[in-house]
Amino acid sequence: MRKHLIFVLFTIGLLAAVVPGCKKDKVELPKYELSFVSESEHFYELEVAGRKDVVMSKNVRMYTLEKGTYSWKVTQLSGYLGLPNTQRGSVFLNEDKTIYFGNDGNGGNGGNDNDKKHKLRFTSTSSNPYELQVAGYNRVIQGNTYVDYTLPEGIYSWRVEQMSGYVIYPTIKEGTVILNQDKEVVFP
């Protein structure tokens, strides 16, 4: 008797899903344009909303998406030495938005041209390479060098991890910087 009841309920559910006129009302969320603008001469792979696309140099890729939060990632496909430049981030889409990428740190993470921007310099005093993560950018900084980012005013978390030259564990440093003027982070 119990198996029969389960079968009847399953059949009714299945019919309601496929028979016209038995659809549940679906609330449509507003849709907005999310544009990705490449500021680089190189090719990038773009991942957003479950899609993967290749973005050619100095090109724009636009998506029409429902209101919501979306994670994105771009990975350089050409013109790099060592590891490719990878940038990632998250955006809450409640209006049309534009994200700029592929600028090797000279631009924002979805900022617009009206934002105040400042230079954030990361200086490595080690002879070993470090992986640097800040503002959705992920790149390798070689020993005894520096890298500059020009970013909109804001609060940024950063992290560096030693890639080689350690005995047992890599050196890892992380912190937060309030970017309201040009600043420098020196590590390790």
For the segment 170-181, what is each residue's pLDDT rounded down to a tens digit? 999 998 888 889
**Is the distance from CB of 149 to CB of 134 less than 8 angstroms?**
yes
Domain at 26-104, CATH from 2.60.40.10, 3.40.50.300, 3.20.20.70, 3.30.300.30: 2.60.40.10
Specify the CATH number of the domain 113-188. Answer: 2.60.40.10
Helices (H), the chain: 2-18
Among the listed residues 120, 90, 115, 84, the one whose alpha carbon sits nearest the alpha carbon of residue 102: 84
| Average pLDDT rounded to a whole number, residues 49-57 | 80
pLDDT, tens digit (0-9, with 9 covering 90-100), for 108-121: 344 444 457 889 99
* pLDDT score recorded for residue 120: 92
**3-class secondary structure, 177:** strand
Instruction: Return the domain boundaries, the chain.
Output: 26-104, 113-188
The DSSP secondary structure of 41-57, one letter per residue, reads: SS-EEEEETTEEEEE-T
Q: Judge whether residue 165 has pLDDT over 80.
A: yes
Average pLDDT over the chain reads 77
